[in-house]
Chains A and B, each alone.
Chain A
Amino acid sequence: MLAANFRIETATAASRTIALAGAGLVLVLVVLPLFVSRGLVQDMIFVFYMLALAQLWNLLAGHAGLVSVGQQAFVGLGGYLLFAFTVILGIDALAAIVLAGLVTGICAFPTALVVFRLRGAYFAIGTWVVAEVFRLLIAQWKQLGGGTGTSLPVSVTNEVAGIEWIKRVFDVRTAAARDMEIYWVALALAVGTVLAVYFILRSRRGLALAAIRDSELAAESVGVDSYRTKLWVFAVAAAATGMIGALIYLQKARISPDAAFTVIDWTAYVIFIVVIGGIGTIEGPIIGVIVFYLMQRYLADFGTWYLILLGGLAILVMLFAPRGICGYLSERYGISLFPTRRRLVSDKDSPGM
């Protein structure tokens, strides 16, 4: 007979350490733009938004079984909504980012109505079709430049709330202050996305997602409403993706349908990051984005050969280490930095097992 009391735990000793280290890292990242060059600040903005996009794609594909190759639909929509809110309606850019996210999230519902009729791999191509429809529709929006696109007026980019304050406090020029502000928003979105995904996965809904992923039939038989759970995740991911899209195009300050809805930048790169790092884990995209950033920085000049290399690497990882760098590490050493799995722990056992 076992006399010990049992508890359900998700945290491990390693995860508690990493939580502290992570908080420290975020603090360092917050003050970083005060000490480094503008070039690095801009690079970090890129890393942050790619990380956030990767986390969201991973939430869909790795946890909800919704493998999308059409996330560019929501990136592009968010970007265009930012332009519409700021240029046409004269709303401040920061508020416009939030609004763009909300509206994109709402647009996810009619989208889901259509694409949720397709399953598995067909869902993937269906999302791609939807992204093309968004691109072609927005190319008809003459007020925002139609097929050729448009630029944000300087009055919008330079008068974002807070820029004057940053200029005064840190004594920098407008352009530098803009970079810093976008850097902080990007950092907030990236950290917010990581935390949101983590807490979603630890919540009841996360448990439902894991159940659906493992066996949809069994999950439904114990009362999980799989359609609503998936719909909810799809809409949340779309809203967050829309906000990130809005931020990306606030930084770029120029938008066109072909760039905003490109499958390479907003889906292929994102998938690469997740696959290399490790699908179905939170630390995977974090490692993946670092690998991707280094490759982008040192190899992107090779153009087509670079893309061939990315495609080839993704195929090799998928064939020989399907769970990516993280899966390899956790299999080999049992490390899990963001544990979401519930484990039964006996008080007699040492915790952290």
Chain B
Amino acid sequence: MIGWIDTVIQGVLLGGLYALFAVGLSLIFGIMRLVNLAHGDLIVLAAFVILVISRALGLNIFVALVLAAPILFGIGYALQHFLLNRTLGRDILPPLLVTFGLSIIVQNGLLEAFSADSRRLDADALETASIALGGGLAVGVMPLMTLVSAVAVIFALNYLFYRLPLGRAFRATSDDPEIAQLMGVDNRRIFALAMGLAMVVTAIAALYLGTRATFDPSIGPARLLYAFEAVIIGGLGSLWGTLAGGVIIGLAQTIGAHINPEWQILAGHVAFLVVLVLRPRGLFPRAVD
């Protein structure tokens, strides 16, 4: 019994990590209807940026994250400004194929620069720290921080969307790009800012990815799939739904692994397919595709 309760707790905490993966994807789709197939590889890229900064300057990874965030914002802004803005339009093929090409470039670029070795972000004492819940149960501090960060990121983004002028511009372009332009919003700049913002969220996700387990350049696509599944399960356009979707994938994976370690990933995918069959528009749909 204790084993099951522990499994469920671990699953919910893992869900926080998947929600962090998914929020960036959800943000980009929500604002510019762009599905970024390179999202997983960009998460891994962010992890390497944090790794390089913390190693080169001998910094704690949380400080390294603060330094990495503006760099990744710049990468995201430039990517959207110089490349992805050119692909937006009625045809779905250009953005899909360009981001697919980008995924291959990022993945192999990282492989060339850092080799296929497994890396890890070192969180020192925090890594092994845990909080006892009584009854033989305990939660790790890092997994708990992951979930708390996911909730905090979603709160912050919702605040931005509904309280700040930039958020209003985001929502306006999302609702009707032409009218937004007539009102003096520069869509292309808004899109670039959104991609930069998504990359900052990605950097936060990458920190927890790198402290939780090892990573190497090849693991990006699998992260893209988890993120995508969380977004679809939650329903398009709802960040809290995305969190719920992440938790469902996390739960399915830990419960699957509890039954048979070989079923971990499979169980997550199957949970996604089941939700897709039963509730094709997700659990908390808001936007219409």
B60 contacts the other chain (CB 8 A):
no
Q: Contact: B101 with A314, CB < 8 Å?
A: yes
**Nearest neighbor of B221 in chain A, beta-carbon distance:** A263
B228 contacts the other chain (CB 8 A):
yes
B141 to chain A, nearest CB (A): 32
- Bound Cα distance A128, B232 (Å): 14
- Bound Cα distance A259, B267 (Å): 22
A277 to chain B, nearest CB (A): 13
Instruction: Select one of A117, A124, A268, A279 contacting B35, CB under 8 A.
Output: A124
In the complex, per-residue mask of B83-113: 1 if CB is within 8 Å of any chain A CB, else 0: 1001100011111111011111101110110
Number of A-B contacts (CB under 8 A): 116
Chain B interface size, under 10 / 10 to 19 / 20 to 34 / 35 or more: 35 or more
- Bound Cα distance A133, B108 (Å): 24
Main secondary structure on chain A at its contact with chain B?
helix
Q: Contact: B277 with A308, CB < 8 Å?
A: no
B residues near A322, Cβ cutoff 8 Å: 91, 93-94
A residues near B104, Cβ cutoff 8 Å: 264, 268, 307-308, 310-311
Q: Contact: B228 with A308, CB < 8 Å?
A: no
Q: Contact: A312 with B105, CB < 8 Å?
A: yes
Q: Contact: B37 with A69, CB < 8 Å?
A: yes
A residues near B112, Cβ cutoff 8 Å: 304-305, 308
B229 contacts the other chain (CB 8 A):
yes
Main secondary structure on chain B at its contact with chain A?
helix
A residues near B83, Cβ cutoff 8 Å: 315, 319
Q: Contact: A318 with B229, CB < 8 Å?
A: no
B residues near A305, Cβ cutoff 8 Å: 108, 112
- Bound Cα distance A272, B98 (Å): 11
B224 contacts the other chain (CB 8 A):
yes
A residues near B222, Cβ cutoff 8 Å: 132
Q: A122-B228, A139-B262, A318-B98 are in contact. List 6 more A-B contacts (CB 8 A).
A: A117-B276, A128-B221, A263-B221, A308-B104, A311-B101, A315-B102
* 30 A–B pairs (Cβ distance < 8 Å), ordered by A: A61-B93, A114-B277, A117-B276, A117-B277, A122-B232, A124-B35, A124-B37, A125-B225, A129-B228, A129-B272, A129-B273, A133-B273, A136-B265, A136-B269, A139-B262, A264-B104, A268-B100, A271-B100, A304-B111, A305-B108, A307-B104, A307-B105, A311-B102, A312-B105, A315-B83, A315-B101, A315-B105, A318-B93, A318-B98, A322-B93
Residues of B within 8 A of A (CB): 35, 37, 83, 86-87, 91-98, 100-105, 107-109, 111-112, 221-222, 224-225, 228-229, 232, 262, 265-266, 269-270, 272-273, 276-277, 280, 289
**Closest 8 A-B residue pairs measured CB to CB?**
A121-B35, A311-B104, A311-B101, A117-B280, A304-B108, A311-B105, A136-B266, A315-B101
